[in-house]
Structure 1
Amino acid sequence: MAVDMKKLTGLVAATFTPLTVDGEINLSVIEPYIDYLTNKQGVTKVFVNGTTGEGCSLTVDERKRLAAEWCLKGKGKLEQVIVHVGCMCIKDSQELAQHAASIGADGIAVISPSFFKPTNAEALRMFLKEVGASAPNLPLYYYHIPSMTGVSLEVADVLQGIEKMIPSFKGVKYSGIDLRDLGQCVSYSQSHNWSVLYGVDEQLLGALVVGVHGAVGSTYNYIGCIVNQMLSAFDTGNTTQARDLQFKSMEFITYARSLGFDVAVNKQVMSVLSGLALGPPRLPLLPCSASKSQDIAQKIKSIFFKN
């Protein structure tokens, strides 16, 4: 049975993976990265080796080393470290899950395989079950991101009866745009005390109305302090302030998209805003021009940090 751990709620930063100019992982950046998140952004929970972290472009060994460093340097500073362990190969996912348990991670998340895809909800539940069994004392979260995996099974269907198959199951990171399916997930989760966290940053307010318990996103690395204000405004019933802050997030992301806003560009924007040397992306992602990242960073400053 899963250990009874603190429920995952609030803001979670989907972290970037620091690389050297030669394309090797750069563990020396992790500690100042943690300090930046906690001291400058007020973000104390992280989601490591996910989409933002280029997890599926990293080797199993690299993912282990990164996860271990986040857990080690995060002790006493971070509240929760969730490690994404999803892979195309179930054996690799199981190995990463076992490793996450051994380093003191606070939970694991798993995407669906996307080359050979599960054909129905039962197949996906079976995959999650086998991964979860490798770390039975860690909370397990299903990471739904159909835009990347091409797996568009309704998550509400995947959740049906999953608690009987996977005692360690604790919720969903929902990075899709179907608010009806999302609402059904929230509804089903209520009797199990699971966490449903939303992963589309520019639509977070709509998900909060539906009842999600928090959010996991890349932009929370550098505007986490602003989004925390939005969460606080929503929680206190100040819908006008919450809406205004969401509109500002939409404005910046719309502008960034007009320039081609992918993980590589986002990573460089984070470097500009934070001063952290996060390095280039890994192929097939291509680095962006300095002018593009500077333009987006300046737009963010003009929208959120005028004073």
Structure 2
Amino acid sequence: MTTNTASAPPPFGRALCAMVTPFTPSGALDLDGAQALAERLVGRGCDGLVLSGTTGESPTTSDAEKAKLVAAVREAVGERASLVAGVGTFDTRHTVELARSAEKAGADGVLVVSPYYSRPPQDALEAHFREVADASGLPVMLYDIPGRTGTRIEPETLIRLAAHPRIVAVKDCSYDFLGAQKVLARTALAYYAGCDEHNLALYAVGGAGYVSTVANVVPEQLRAVLDAFDAGDTGRAALLQQRATELIELVMSSGLPGTVTAKGLLGDLGLPSGPVRPPLRPADRKTVDGLRAAYERLVLPVPVG
């Protein structure tokens, strides 16, 4: 049995942001804005960025836009942060093409979500991931989010896939904490919390870190949770996680997609974001005001001791 080791360095870093994709007011790709946002995130504690994921509106960006985004962000941050490109689609052939394109554009890894809508059985799902992993030289982070895809990557499937040399990580949005611990106990896969409310809990049982939507606006505050835990101050880590709960809930569980709430708050703070693309619609003023108030409370200094 292979066991996870806390001493093994995470393949993409610990504190990753699922970065929004900035657009211009007319809805075009805003590469200058993407570079500025990436610079801010890396400068404030993110050691990895996930581009063109769920929060990055991957369903409504073109293949060319995805490649341009990777290249532009690589130019902005250099080697200071890992770049993981979302390439997952409902079509194995298309996903393979996107993985190869991401490699050419300068990505350090690829995020591959379960094929959605068609709901393949586990053997077909496993074959899909293996084909994508074989298609490029990049390491793969599997993305388990059955609430969006309709298909769970079952723990036993993940355990088998862990034997593939390029399948190295999981972004976990399964809401199955026991299942995650089973995979952690039996593989060397790096497990990243994909739901911000699980950031500390998963890290405490051997997770690698997080891929966070909320980090778009408060990268330092979320990074501080991991730093406190690593320093052995578990009480402070818990306090910092608890302080972030209000904003996490408003961004992720307000009845709106995290992309909508994150962009609404970023825009209110004067940071690169721009509109969301249809069929998504922007957050209303009341929602943004609530987000801004929670943000202001969170960024107040935390008493020491």
Scaled by the length of structure 1, what TM-score is found?
0.89
Give the alignment partner of residue 13 of structure 1, picking from 17, 24, 43: 17
Structure 1 vs Structure 2 CA RMSD: 2.0
Query: Within 5 Å, which residues of 2 pair with 1:3-152?
Result: 7-39=11-43, 41-76=44-79, 78-120=80-122, 122-135=123-136, 137-152=137-152
Q: Deviations over 1:156-206 (max 9, x none)?
A: 212233244x3211121112211101101211223xxx3111111022121
* Cα distance in 2 for residues equivalent to 1:221 and 1:259: 17
Q: 2:242 aligns to what SS in structure 1?
A: helix
Query: Within 5 Å, which residues of 2 pair with 1:185-204?
Result: 185-190=183-188, 194-204=189-199
Give the alignment partner of residue 172 of structure 1, picking from 155, 170, 173: 170
CA contact (8 A) 2:70 2:106 kept: no
* Cα distance in 2 for residues equivalent to 1:249 and 1:294: 17
* Partner residue, 1:182: 180
Q: Deviations over 1:66-116 (max 9, x none)?
A: 12222232214x320011100112222111111111122111110011111
1:44 Cα deviation from its structure 2 partner = 2.8
CA contact (8 A) 1:189 1:196 kept: no
* Cα distance in 2 for residues equivalent to 1:296 and 1:85: 30
Q: Which moved more, 1:257-266 or 1:27-36?
A: 257-266
Scaled by the length of structure 2, what TM-score is found?
0.89
Q: 1:83 aligns to what SS in structure 2?
A: strand
Distance 1:153 1:107, change over 3 A: closer
Query: Within 5 Å, which residues of 2 pair with 1:141-290?
Result: 141-154=141-154, 156-164=155-163, 166-190=164-188, 194-256=189-251, 260-262=255-257, 263-273=259-269, 275-290=270-285
Q: Structure 2 stretches of 5 or more lacking a match?
A: 1-8
Distance 1:10 1:119, change over 3 A: same
Q: Structure 1 stretches of 5 or more lacking a match?
A: none
Q: Which amino acid aligns with 2:114?
A: S
How many equivalent residue pairs? Answer: 293
Distance 1:255 1:54, change over 3 A: closer
Q: Which amino acid aligns with 1:19?
A: F
* Partner residue, 2:6: none
1:63 Cα deviation from its structure 2 partner = 1.5
Q: 1:279 aligns to what SS in structure 2?
A: coil
* Cα distance in 2 for residues equivalent to 1:118 and 1:53: 25
Q: Which amino acid aligns with 1:62?
A: E
